[in-house]
Structure 1
Amino acid sequence: MIIFIFELFSFNLRKMTISLHYINMKKMNNNTESCQDLYTVQEINAQPRLWLETFLLLKKNKEDISNYLQPILDINNLRIIVTGAGSSAFIGEAAQSIIQKQTNQLTQPIATTDLVTHPDFFFIKDTPTLLISFARSGNSPESLEAVSLADKYCNNVHHLIITCNKNGELANYNKETKSPSYSIILPEETNDKSLAMTSSFTCMLLTAILVSDIKNIDKKEQALETICKQATTIIKNQEIFSKIAERAFERVVFLGSGEKLGIARESHLKLQELTDGKVICKFDSFLGFRHGPRAVVNANTLLVYLFSEDEHAFKYEKDLVEDIAKDPRNIQSILVGGFNDITIENSTRIPFQAVNNNILQLIPVTLIGQLLGLHKSLNLGLNPDNPSVSGAINRVVQGVNIYKK
């Protein structure tokens, strides 16, 4: 049983090879200048800097992480389950394909909310299992019960816990289990104080991708610098999202393929949470959207296209977009990434210069849903830090009873 608490530590950043010119995020657009004291604004804008800090923390502890993970990843027929609740579950959905490619081990995203109700559906007793758990607070009842059930239902289970709260119950689960356990606790600032997960989501996603190929973390330095610059460009152009938020749309659909499907799902939740459900959101893959879900589109729908950098996938995406563009209702849309050989009316292209073969590319795309949610929340007169007027939605889920099976 091993636990390493990765807290912020002092770095002489001037000696680092990674350029830090992008971390000065003081300039805000007009719509948020009066809202700089909001946690949501601060947490969204801090992400490029926090990605760097997360990278440096993992790099510093490369040997310890590798010593724990590599023997597990070398196990024949290992099964990796990536899990969490809500946004934390969507981290696993977004990272699944990347983790599977980097480890060459079967990787499956299964939410804790499914594991808790039907553990016998998902855990396989005699199959060696690595359970990777994501949690911002680490105090959600399902998160704790899921790791406990893994110990009960699997003969050979190993835990990797990635969380933002050193004081959370999940961070200290190693004291409760006899199974091998390793906790990565990210910098305290990633433990978002606002209701909606923003920096916590992207930093845990970044961590999952980096640790699944920890031996090559040094080779990802350039990719990290690239996504930090991309995110900074998006953040500095927030007036685009402010103008979009002024439009009269009542439904938003996020579409993505491959790993972008997980980002589409996270984005749909982010916008719906931050608008207190006043804007109904959905998500789907580009191809899947054709098979019925497209019926949700009406004249007051905004479509957000999270394009792939894969030329093969993009061909399918482009076909759908051009087909929807023929709709006489002139459906409004947002274009993110992909290739520039697509132009449609009533659309807004986000300034995002994609880079091929950047394994971290999906991380800055997450900001699209965050910023759209933030500005629409402000447009509706809500408090983005706590947008739930009725109190039905809380930062840490309330009212969940755990029943032993």
Structure 2
Amino acid sequence: MDKERITAETTTERKTWLGMDGMQLREAGGTFTAKEIAQQPRLWKSTWALVNENKSALQAFLGTIFASEDMEVILTGAGTSAYIGSILRDPFQKGSHKHTWAVPTTDLVSHPHHYFQSDRSLLLVSFARSGNSPESVAAINLANALCKKAFHLIITCNTEGDLARMGDRPDCFVFHLPAETNDRGLAMTSSFTCMLLAGLLITRIDRIHRYEETVSRLADYGNRIISQYTQPLKDMASLDFNRAVFLGSGPLQSAAQESQLKLQELTDGKVICKHDSFLGLRHGPKVVIDPKTLIFFLYSNDDYVHLYEADLVKSILATEKGIGQIGISESPDNDLQATLGIYFSGYGEKIEEDFLSVCSVLPAQILAFFKSVNLGLKPDAPSANDTITRVVQGVTIYPYRADHIHAFNRL
């Protein structure tokens, strides 16, 4: 028995994640984060299988809700989870034919009267890794108290969280992702991409069978990034930069926002990051680019969108180009030059643009991991003074009374 255990432990030590073995990861304090980044392509396939398995139940739940003429949809979460809603707003509106908003729980809790209407019914779609954030629970309670009628679709990674426990209510459907998506590291990696993918698939639930091939392609893209670009990204992480700018358009703008948060979180704020759209950068924010700025371009696969992206990139490369650039695209583009070009595929076909947001965040996750190590931080727990924690701490939820709404309406 001891011999078998030693053999198993030795095999585990020899296995690598992001090019580092078990001992190296323990020494760097990055065991969970590295494994959680590397496992994503496999979990995307598991996520498709789970959504497909729950197809009938999801159709029954959502079909009844969307039959209501006065129904609105709010997609919500806090931090990284809120960015999922921003990417999904347009797909949800197209799929449901209902007015759809993407609003962070942090806004819903402080200004509920801006979003919850007593004469409207609501589907609140909540994304949550742990499901234990105070604002997540408060947003649901406020919706129930203030809306004409509130229903809840909860997409979560934690079967034991506060939100997951609401699954026995008739007005609530809880979709549980694979247990491995409940990241143990500080930064949300598997949880973000799998919750996002689940949302994208649920907006297409009536034709979910058509997307098995899309998800398989996504997994191929993810494996290509990890196998072919981990070392180049590690090399880029060694550059002496203290700022980073992430650019994306449409659904990829929120993917850029998530990417910048990963780098900022995993470097404990030692790298200050900003995100914007390609067109928006010219309207003032471009001034932040200096010689120690790393620039990320998250390219659309829409030819029309790419015209605007190409103009901006050429402008940057002709002026202040920073310390380096990373271009991320589905297919190679010989017209655009960057210090590092990352492309997912050589296929002639394209996947739908919003699905690109799932794999386009991987390069930033990988680079952020190595930048964290380079700075002497521990990627699993990079916040030296616990400025940020895995589940937010210190939030007081105050009671909200009906007279608050009346006072507001009298102003």
Regarding TM over 0.5, the answer is yes
1:63 — aligned with what?
56
Give the 5 Å matches for 1:304-315. 304-315=296-307
2:393 — aligned with what?
398
In structure 2, which of residues 82, 92, 113 is the aligned counterpart of residue 89 of structure 1? 82
Partner deviation per Cα, 1:184-205 (whole Å, 9 max, x = no partner)? 1111111110000000111111
Amino acid of the structure 2 residue aligned with 1:294: K
Q: CA deviation at 1:58?
A: 1.6
Q: CA deviation at 1:108?
A: 1.1
1:213 — aligned with what?
204
1:356 matched to 2:347? The reply is no
Q: CA deviation at 1:346?
A: 5.2
Q: CA deviation at 1:328?
A: 5.4
How does the TM-score come out when normalised to structure 2?
Answer: 0.88
Distance in 1 (CA, whole Å) between partners of 2:132 and 2:83 is 18
2:291 — aligned with what?
299
Q: Which has the larger radius of gyration?
A: 2
Residues 126 and 42 (structure 1), Cα distance of their counterparts in 2 relative to 1, 3 Å cut:
same
1:262 — aligned with what?
254
Equivalences, count: 379
Q: CA deviation at 1:125?
A: 1.9
Q: CA deviation at 1:123?
A: 1.4
Q: CA deviation at 1:101?
A: 2.2
Give the 5 Å matches for 1:221-236. 221-236=212-227
Amino acid of the structure 1 residue aligned with 2:206: K
1:38 matched to 2:31? The reply is yes
Please tell me whether the aligned partners of residues 31 and 239 of structure 1 are also in contact (alpha carbons under 8 angstroms). Answer: no
Distance in 2 (CA, whole Å) between partners of 1:371 and 1:357 is 23
Please tell me whether the aligned partners of residues 305 and 334 of structure 1 are also in contact (alpha carbons under 8 angstroms). Answer: yes
1:76 matched to 2:58? The reply is no
Please tell me whether the aligned partners of residues 242 and 293 of structure 2 are also in contact (alpha carbons under 8 angstroms). Answer: yes
- Give the root-mean-square deviation of aligned CA atoms: 2.0
SS in 1 for 2:124: strand
Please tell me whether the aligned partners of residues 251 and 280 of structure 1 are also in contact (alpha carbons under 8 angstroms). Answer: yes
Distance in 1 (CA, whole Å) between partners of 2:167 and 2:64 is 19
Amino acid of the structure 2 residue aligned with 1:223: T
1:48 matched to 2:48? The reply is no
Q: CA deviation at 1:356?
A: 2.1
1:4 — aligned with what?
none
In structure 2, which of residues 124, 127, 130 is the aligned counterpart of residue 131 of structure 1? 124
Q: CA deviation at 1:31?
A: 5.3
2:328 — aligned with what?
336
Please tell me whether the aligned partners of residues 75 and 100 of structure 2 are also in contact (alpha carbons under 8 angstroms). Answer: yes
Distance in 1 (CA, whole Å) between partners of 2:382 and 2:59 is 41
Please tell me whether the aligned partners of residues 259 and 362 of structure 1 are also in contact (alpha carbons under 8 angstroms). Answer: yes
Structure holding more helix per residue: 2
Distance in 2 (CA, whole Å) between partners of 1:27 and 1:228 is 19
Please tell me whether the aligned partners of residues 87 and 251 of structure 2 are also in contact (alpha carbons under 8 angstroms). Answer: yes
SS in 1 for 2:279: helix
Please list every run of at least 4 consecutive aligned residues from structure 1 whose deviation after the TM superposition is greater than 3 angstroms.
25-33, 328-331, 338-346
1:100 — aligned with what?
93
In structure 1, which of residues 195, 198, 218 is the aligned counterpart of residue 189 of structure 2? 198
2:8 — aligned with what?
none
Amino acid of the structure 1 residue aligned with 2:343: P
Amino acid of the structure 2 residue aligned with 1:197: M
Between the aligned residues of both structures, percent identity stands at: 42
1:389 — aligned with what?
384
How does the TM-score come out when normalised to structure 1?
Answer: 0.89
Amino acid of the structure 2 residue aligned with 1:67: A
Unmatched tracts of structure 2, length 5 or more: 1-13, 401-411
Residues 245 and 184 (structure 1), Cα distance of their counterparts in 2 relative to 1, 3 Å cut:
same
Q: CA deviation at 1:242?
A: 0.4
Residues 254 and 32 (structure 1), Cα distance of their counterparts in 2 relative to 1, 3 Å cut:
farther
Unmatched tracts of structure 1, length 5 or more: 1-24
Distance in 2 (CA, whole Å) between partners of 1:169 and 1:76 is 31
Residues 32 and 342 (structure 1), Cα distance of their counterparts in 2 relative to 1, 3 Å cut:
farther
1:248 — aligned with what?
240
Please tell me whether the aligned partners of residues 302 and 333 of structure 1 are also in contact (alpha carbons under 8 angstroms). Answer: yes
Amino acid of the structure 2 residue aligned with 1:255: L
SS in 1 for 2:225: helix
1:376 matched to 2:371? The reply is yes
Partner deviation per Cα, 1:242-285 (whole Å, 9 max, x = no partner)? 00001111100110000001101111101100000010001011
1:7 — aligned with what?
none
Amino acid of the structure 2 residue aligned with 1:42: K
Please tell me whether the aligned partners of residues 267 and 372 of structure 2 are also in contact (alpha carbons under 8 angstroms). Answer: yes
